[in-house]
Chains A and B, each alone.
Chain A
Amino acid sequence: MNARAREPRGRLLLTLALALFLSVVPLPANLDAVRPAFLTLTVIYWSVAAPRAGGIAIGWFSGLALDVFQGSLLGEHALALSLVAYIAVREHQKVRAKHVFQQSLMVLGALVIYECVLFAIDGWTGHTLFGPLHWLQIVTGALLWPVAAALLTRSHAPRWES
């Protein structure tokens, strides 16, 4: 039960804040289209690496923050991110066991689900947040995963590598 005390909550919040910053910092339009979903990657990482500290609640609140910053429908990103976090928490054993490039493929799947949820909600509510180029983010996100995972692992004691 000591394990809970060792959960890297401080690191987790810090990296989430950083990811949120990267997700909303203004970029030129053509870069913006391929900007990876930093926040989603971070939520996935923590849901897999520390499912007790991370997980669904973290995903939900991160998504809500994203909604406030992007002015999207309140709850939209929250739902999508908590779904992704839920999947990641459920599958964290399988993900941990895989090689990092296979993890990338799994992240790709999670990002597809994430974007589909957003796309569906946008469609139902009649708001449009993204253009067709936005789907490129799934690919850039998956490509970024090995780097992001390595950086995030360095941010706390590696719990699953050894």
Chain B
Amino acid sequence: MAAYGAGATNRRLTGHGSSPGLRFTVYAILSIVVMVFDQRGGWVKEIRFLLQAAAYPLQLAVSSPTTAWAWIRESVETREELRAENERLRVRESGLALRALNYEGLARENAQLRGLAHALPPIADRWLAGEIISVELTTLRQRMLLNRGTTNGVFEGQAVLDDAGLLGQTIHVGPWSTEVILITDPEHAVPVQIERTGLRTIAVGAGNESALALPYLPANADVKRGDLLNTSGLGGVFPAGYPVARVEEVHRDAIQPLAQVRAVPLAHIESDREVALVWFVDERAKNAALQSQLAPHPDTPASAAAASTPAAAPLAPGAAATAATPPAAPAKAKVTPKTPPKSEPPDDAADAVE
């Protein structure tokens, strides 16, 4: 055994006719090429897409203990608990139905009042419920894997919400699964607006599922505990007006030029089991759809209008600043003009909910 040396014996040992050094060099170069292209976002994306498809079964297997635990917990829930939950949901549902009745009217009235019927921010058009397969909540990565992918029309940079607020956006999309970067991921930044004052700033993830940082507010900025932060619509990924977080703590230090502000996300990041992937339609297409509904054959022209109008973001007043993308949101600020495949007519949002 001790007689083995380098060179020829290694060749015999490895049995592949080449030395480990050579093979390592080849693999190292291959890794570097792949890394460079993955970083720049080129063709490696398609490879990743395929690999993600291949990885999906194992990802399901990996999450199976969690799923099994949830299933067990659910099946031992008593009848009483289920009944109480049912009751609660019923009350909530009727409340929501009432609000939905108001919604169309309010939207039109709002458009009239602002006189900007063609330049309103996009609104949710249809959404798709996705189940969370696994969640990764560490200081440096806050990610989540959903059981939806391109076969469901999911695209990269799509907004993900839950019933309470903004959760994040899709980052790697596979055929059946999607990785979501949460707003609390330290690599994620979301442009927000303080509801009370209209002040715009950027909320950066703090690597903690219950904290966002607002690092760009000057010490004299008008912000206080309890302020609600909405999406500002800048950056083009998230439309304006969706709730993101509530300010929890404002710390002003005399020697610091910036205030240290901490906000708590409204979305239930820790307890969610289902989230909504949202498609937004711009108001112009929506209006076209509304009008063509008065026509005898509403569906076809409506969907055609919605599909043929890519994001009208440059028209929107807020989005005029799209070019001035916040520097802290490098990968996030992609405007995605891709209109998703319209399998359903755009106004049948209720049908699209699964």
Instruction: Enumerate chain A interface residues (CB-CB to B < 8 A).
Output: 4, 17, 20-21, 24-26, 29, 32-33, 51-52, 55-57, 59-60, 63-65, 68-69, 71, 73-76, 78-79, 82-83, 85-86, 89-90, 93, 96-97, 121, 125, 127-131
Q: Are B35 and A25 in contact (CB under 8 A)?
A: no
| Cα–Cα distance between A68 and B62 once the two chains are bound (Å) | 14
Q: Are A29 and B137 in contact (CB under 8 A)?
A: yes
Q: In the complex, what's the smallest C-beta–C-beta distance from B329 to chain A, in angstroms?
A: 13
| Cα–Cα distance between A86 and B19 once the two chains are bound (Å) | 10
Which residues of the other chain, B, contact A96 by a CB distance below 8 angstroms?
1
Is the CB of B103 closer than 8 A to any CB of chain A? no
Which residue of A is nearest B13, CB measured? A51
Mark contacts of B168-201 with chain A using CB atoms, 8 A cut-off: 1 yes-contact digit, 0 otherwise. Answer: 0001100000010000001100000000000000
Which residues of the other chain, A, contact B32 by a CB distance below 8 angstroms?
75, 79
| Cα–Cα distance between A97 and B4 once the two chains are bound (Å) | 13
The 10 closest A-B pairs by CB, nearest first: A79-B31, A75-B34, A86-B24, A75-B35, A75-B31, A74-B38, A82-B27, A68-B51, A60-B27, A131-B139
Which residues of the other chain, A, contact B54 by a CB distance below 8 angstroms?
68
Q: In the complex, what's the smallest C-beta–C-beta distance from A33 to chain B, in angstroms?
A: 8
Which residues of the other chain, B, contact A75 by a CB distance below 8 angstroms?
30-35, 38
Give 9 new A-B contacts, CB below 8 A, not counting A24-B59, A51-B13, A75-B38: A17-B58, A29-B139, A55-B14, A74-B38, A75-B35, A82-B31, A86-B23, A125-B35, A128-B140
Q: Are B139 and A60 in contact (CB under 8 A)?
A: no
Q: Are A74 and B48 in contact (CB under 8 A)?
A: yes
Which residues of the other chain, B, contact A64 by a CB distance below 8 angstroms?
51
Q: In the complex, what's the smallest C-beta–C-beta distance from A4 to chain B, in angstroms?
A: 6
Which residue of A is nearest B54, CB measured? A68
| Cα–Cα distance between A52 and B13 once the two chains are bound (Å) | 6
Q: Are B62 and A52 in contact (CB under 8 A)?
A: no
Q: CB within 8 A of B140: which of A71, A125, A130?
A: A130
Q: CB within 8 A of A56: which of B23, B61, B139?
A: B23
Number of B interface residues in the complex (CB < 8 A):
49
Q: In the complex, what's the smallest C-beta–C-beta distance from B97 to chain A, in angstroms?
A: 37
Q: Are B58 and A21 in contact (CB under 8 A)?
A: yes
Q: Are B62 and A57 in contact (CB under 8 A)?
A: no
Which of B13, B20, B135, B137 counts the most A-chain CB atoms under 10 A from its CB?
B20
Could you list some 8 contacts between A and B, CB below 8 A? A17-B58, A24-B62, A56-B27, A69-B62, A73-B38, A74-B34, A74-B48, A75-B33
Which residues of the other chain, A, contact B2 by a CB distance below 8 angstroms?
93, 97
Is the CB of B52 closer than 8 A to any CB of chain A? yes
Q: Are A86 and B21 in contact (CB under 8 A)?
A: yes
Which residues of the other chain, A, contact B187 by a CB distance below 8 angstroms?
127-128
Which residues B275-311 have CB closer than 8 A to chain A?
none
| Cα–Cα distance between A55 and B21 once the two chains are bound (Å) | 11
Q: Are B138 and A29 in contact (CB under 8 A)?
A: yes
Q: Are B13 and A82 in contact (CB under 8 A)?
A: no
Q: Are B34 and A56 in contact (CB under 8 A)?
A: no
Q: Are B20 and A89 in contact (CB under 8 A)?
A: yes
Is the CB of B28 closer than 8 A to any CB of chain A? yes
Q: Are A129 and B141 in contact (CB under 8 A)?
A: yes
Is the CB of B63 closer than 8 A to any CB of chain A? yes
Which residue of B is nearest A25, CB measured? B62
Which residue of B is nearest A96, CB measured? B1
